[in-house]
Structure 1
Amino acid sequence: MYDMWPFRRKKNEIDLEDVKSWSKEDTKHFFLTASDEEFHVFIETCFSVKSEGNCVDMLNLLRGLDNDGLFYGIAKATKVESQFDHSKYLAALISIISIIINLYVKVNVVLAIVVTALLVMYMLFKIGREMRRRISAVYLKSLLEQVKAEKEKVKAS
């Protein structure tokens, strides 16, 4: 994960050509064992605009999953989706507003502005970074649910 230089991280990389050759067991195993970062890289690599020409291959990979694989994938995507839910920042935002009002009233206007700017920039940075992950997870979850519904429809016929 890390190279010899202590401050430079290696990026998680998933080779699209390797993913195309995964079996349904490989995919199921990946859904079970992948970290959230690996899962995000998988979605970004295989189901994004960058991999547009390979969408049919990736959809066929998902269609090849059995019910257990679909359940694992949906569960993983739901976990990532809820983990990066931005509504959890509402309490922090209310706290920031109360700190700002307290600083403004009791201490110093300049200090209140500086603290406000720092806290708001930090919150916006976190929200911006996490938004991509949540959107990716929702996208994959939607695909998995559609594949699951398609399988149930075929089974009912």
Structure 2
Amino acid sequence: MMFEEELKKEKNPAVIRIGNYLKKRAETDTSVKNNLNKENKSLKECWDYVLGEVAKTMYRNGNFGCAAGDDEDLYALAVHYYDEDDIKIEPLPTNMKVEAKMDEDKKEEKTAEIEPKEIQKEKVKRISKSKKDPVDGQISLF
């Protein structure tokens, strides 16, 4: 299946973002454009490769943790997948749960957290100072 057709049928938002990035980059970079047309490559396999590479960064002390990075890191992995002809895709461990959130998703979450449900006005306490007699021992000039 050709890259364009595969991208149109894709449902995963993260894969679509990577696919759209590759498509846009192919408009100005002929090597990327040529690589996207390789018959032995697919967008699904590209995503599997990206997840596998991210999983390697998550594995510590025999357990999988979490990983974070910029979208640019994922895009670079996707470009690398299409560049190299001899990449081997390693299957993810069966006990590994993967959730992909790209920067745009994070921005939306942050916005939702920052906006308060009710705008509360801060109450300001006013302290009135009364004039008192001069402190004991102070000489009055008047």
TM-score (norm 1): 0.25
The structure, 1 or 2, with the larger RCO (C-alpha pairs under 8 Å, 6+ apart) is 1
TM-score (norm 2): 0.27
Q: Name the larger-Rg structure.
A: 2
Higher helix share: 1
